[in-house]
Amino acid sequence: MKVISKPNTKPLDAAERNKRVAEPGFGKYYTDNMVIAQWSEATGWSDATLQAYGPLSLDPATMVFHYGQEIFEGMKAYTQPDGGISLFRPEANAKRFAKSAARITLPQMPVEFFVQTVEELVKQDKGWVPSKVGESLYLRPFMIATEVGLGVRPSNHATYVLIATPAAAYFNAAKAVTVWISTEYVRAALGGTGEAKCGGNYAASLLAQKQAAQEGCDQVAYIDAVERKWVEEMGGMNLYFIKGSGKAAKIMTPKLTGTLLPGITRDSILTLANDLGYKTEETMISIDDWRDGVKSGEITEIFACGTAAVVSAVGAAKSVHGTWQTGDGNPGVITNEIRAALLGIQHGSAPDKYGWNKRII
């Protein structure tokens, strides 16, 4: 499989593009091109085509509209100090995309093919990659079931699409987010789709997110479905809890039990925090641990992490059990240190010891 290049013959003029890249927002503007590939059970994957960004035309009986067979990824391209561009751990996204596909009964896309589509789009639309630290070109690969029919069974046709949008820093790094701990709704249960990056998980989470907003919170945090006490993750991000301070601090994250989404940022931070001299632990953390820990001051900092926002401090947590504030409510020093260390690698200003960056330009 290869990527056939038929780029947009009428790209946005450079002045207008530069204006958009200078004030990118998130998901506000899309680049000139996209990549599309088709899969059918009979013939496997087609070559991919890089073509002008634009609407998809689909029969109303297309399966994805009815039974939600959809998966996606989120990854970023970062400008490097010499003006080049790198992707951050794209193979990790490719592997997770294949795992998500297996769970949702969509076809697995070969890792090299997936990465190639991303590389080709970023190379073609390189003028859309912002250059400030924290900014990036956000890439959104996704796959939908495109057999036409209403029978409930795995689709024998799938469409892969890759789009890109220039992205500002997601949250204001100087401000901690507040979270609503949902005790009413769960995100995922064992045996369900919590480990797959699929739209369905998000569809099921929007009501809790809406409730969070009504409670004056920025985000929602989920607890486990069975005992309703173990902290799992926050919306589309994984969580970290820090006990103690200075180099004696211990950095903990909820263990991957089969219901959490295995974040690539989460994984990178486990390595990075160790490297910075901190003890790390993947463990079970209950809402009681959260409440008692921040009350006694044993838990000094909490942050959430994911590709979109990178690292975001978590201040107050609110639930039916009350409101608990972390520290003084502002982003902590270790949170800031970890964010800076990760962004340093992603932007090429710190050594890339683990070979996480894939230089493409």
Ligand X SMILES: *Cc1c(COP(=O)(O)O)cnc(C)c1O
Q: Which residues bind ligand X (CB under 6 A)?
A: 74, 197, 233, 236-238, 261, 263-266, 306-307
Residue 224 or 233 with smaller CB distance to ligand X: 233
- Dist. CA 255–CA 231, nearest whole Å: 10
294 versus 310: smaller Cβ distance to ligand X: 310
> CB 246 → ligand X: shortest distance, Å?
27
Supply angle C-alpha 13, 18, 21, rounded to 5.
125
Q: Are 317 and 221 in contact (CB under 8 A)?
A: yes
Name residues whose C-beta falls within 8 Å of residue 208's C-beta, 6 or more positions apart in sequence. 180, 182, 184, 185, 187, 220, 222
3-state secondary structure of 175: coil
CA torsion sign for 39, 40, 42, 48 is negative
Q: Is residue 239 within 8 Å of 252, Cβ to Cβ?
A: no
CB of 74 to ligand X, least distance (A): 5
Please report how close the Cβ of residue 177 comes to ligand X at its closest, in angstroms: 14
CA distance 11 to 127: 11
Closer residue to ligand X, CB minimum distance, 7 or 74: 74
The least distance separating ligand X from the CB of residue 47, rounded to whole angstroms, comes to: 28
Going from the C-alpha of 6 to that of each of 3, 124, 126, 158, the distances in angstroms are 9, 10, 16, 21
Contacts of 273 (CB under 8 A, 6+ apart): 251, 280, 338
- At its nearest, how many Å lie between ligand X and the CB of residue 258? 14
Q: Give the residue with the Cβ less far from ligand X, 263 or 348.
A: 263
| 3-state class (DSSP) for residue 82 | coil
What is the spatial distance between Cα 85 and Cα 89, in angstroms, rounded to a whole number? 13
Which residue number, 50 or 144, has a Cβ lying nearer to ligand X? 144
* Least distance to ligand X, CB of residue 118, Å: 14
Smallest separation (angstroms) from ligand X to the CB of 140: 11
| Shortest separation between residue 316's beta carbon and ligand X, angstroms | 21
**Alpha-carbon torsion (188, 25, 169, 91), positive or negative:** positive
